Structure 1
Amino acid sequence: MRKIVLQMMTTLNGRLDDPLAWIGSVGDDQYRAIDRLYATYDTVLVGRVTYEEMASYWPGALSEDVGTETNRKMARRMHDYRKLVISRSGSQKLTAWNNVDEVVTPGDEALAAYLRDLKAQPGGDIHLSGGASLAQTVIGLGLVDTFHFFVFPVSSPGAAWFGELPDRYDLRLMGTDTYENGVVGLHYEPLERENAKRAGGFSELLV
């Protein structure tokens, strides 16, 4: 079965919005690592606002005169991917781009049913690209299979990945990486924890 993978840059305090407010630089070693992850996807799951940001940038990045070779490689991937734009109403026209489908899901139940069916179809993994509301909703529905966070050494006020979840959410660390610009890559899978209880004291945490 295909996986839904949330891969995002973030801050030490988990900020997910307005990346230009807190990203200092993206080193080439980090960018190559991101591109290796992108090679495992064939579909991007995205909200309307984030889609419009992508559609305004990536087609122009295909030019041989723009950016690095890694950036152009990613632009080609973004061009080829199937892009699924999740909308609650479908009332606003999308900017034209290659291989785009709008998916209208009026509520969380319809979204969950669509994503479960999507994961059961043949193909590569599915990149959950955002924005914040969509990412938080899919996390809350328990449908994210893998998390790849690129954590920048900065704290910045804003919306956090897990800030809207009503309950405890456990993760299993699957790997770590470090990059020349001080960014740390953290790779997780959700960990099901049944009947998790609050400890009565610190001594109960020691094993």
Structure 2
Amino acid sequence: MRNIVLQMMTTLNGRLDDPLAWMGTVVDDQYRAIDRLYADYDTVLVGRATYEEMVGYWPGALNDHENGETNRVMAGRMHDYRKIVFSRTGTQAISPWHNVERAVVPDDAALSRFLMELKAQPGGDIHLSGGASLAQTVIGLGLVDRYHFFVYPVVSPGEPWFARLREKNDLRLTGSEHYDNGVVGLHYETVRDAKVERPTHFAELIA
């Protein structure tokens, strides 16, 4: 079974929308770490608006020598990935790009079925990209297997990642690191079928 992986920049308070309002620079060591994680993906899940932002930038970055080798490698990955653009209605056209397809999912049940079938297919990890509504919905459905957060040292009002959770999700920390710009990388995997009863007293939390 393939993994759906959410990998994103975020604020300390978990904002996911409008990154230009809060996001700082991406330094070299951070970008190299991001690229290493992207090497495991072969499929990207994306909403229509975010897809249009991607197609407006990445094709031109393939031959852009001003932003460095890592950015060109990333552009090549984006070109090659299978890109699935999700829509509730399918009425709005999407811009052409290599290896792109549309998935019309009128409701959460249809989205869940589509993703479970996708996970059962052979292939590499699946990157859940965004936008905010798609990411929140897939998280809320309990279908994200791993999380890679790059947490910027800032708090900012906006949409949080976990606003649509239906129940508590247990995560296991698998790694962490920090970068020259103060960003912290946090890596988690979802603990499936974690059966931990809610404590009745604070004393039960003290090991």
Give the TM bin, normalised by the shorter chain. over 0.9
- Is there any run of 5+ residues in structure 1 with no aligned partner, and where? none
Contact 2:65 2:72 in 1 (8 A): no
TM-score of the aligned structures, taking structure 1 as reference length: 0.96
> 1:3 matched to which residue of 2?
3
Give, in angstroms, the shift of residue 202 of structure 1. Answer: 2.3
1:105-116 aligned within 5 A: 105-116=105-116
Question: Aligned partners of 2:196, 2:201: CA distance in 1, in Å?
Answer: 18
In the alignment, structure 1 residue 72 sits paired with structure 2 residue 72: yes
How is 1:152-167 mapped onto 2 (pairs within 5 angstroms)?
A: 152-167=152-167
- Aligned pair count reads 206
Letter of the 1:140 partner, please give it: G
Structural mapping, 1:26-41, within 5 Å? 26-41=26-41
Aligned residue number for residue 123 of structure 2: 123
Contact conserved, 1:85 with 1:100, CA < 8 A, in 2? yes
**Following the alignment from structure 1 to structure 2, what is the Cα–Cα distance between the partners of residues 195 and 179?**
34
Contact kept, 8 Å, 2:7 with 2:127, in 1: the verdict is yes
SS in structure 1 at match of 2:180: coil
In the TM superposition, what is the alpha-carbon distance from 1:170 to its structure 2 partner?
1.9
Q: Which 5+ residue runs of structure 2 have no aligned equivalent? A: none
TM-score norm. by structure 2 comes to 0.96
1:34-91: CA deviation from partner (whole Å, max 9, x where unpaired): 0001110111000111101101111111123341110011001101111000111000
Q: Name 1:194's counterpart in structure 2.
A: 195
State the AA in 2 paired with 1:172: R
Structure 1 partner of 2:181: 181
Q: Which amino acid aligns with 2:11?
A: T
Kept in 1: contact 2:139–2:164 (CA 8 A): no
**Structure 1 residue matching 2:16: 3-state secondary structure:** coil
- Comparing 168-177 with 179-188, which one deviates more in the overlay? 168-177
Q: Name the SS for the 1:59 alignment partner.
A: helix
List per-residue Cα deviations over 1:85-124 (Å, max 9, x = no partner). Answer: 0111000000111110000011111111111111111111
How far apart, CA to CA, are the structure 1 residues paired with 2:48 and 2:186?
27
Correspondence for 1:21: 21
**Aligned mates of 1:39, 1:173 — CA distance in 2:** 21
The CA distance in 2 between the partners of 1:104 and 1:122, in whole Å, is 22
By how many angstroms is 1:195 displaced? 5.5
User: Following TM superposition, by how much is the alpha carbon of 1:29 offset from its aligned partner in structure 2, in angstroms?
Assistant: 0.3
CA distance in 2, matches of 1:63, 1:133: 32
Q: Partner letter of residue 134 of structure 1? A: L
Identity %: 67
Which secondary structure state, in structure 2, belongs to the residue aligned with residue 10 of structure 1?
strand
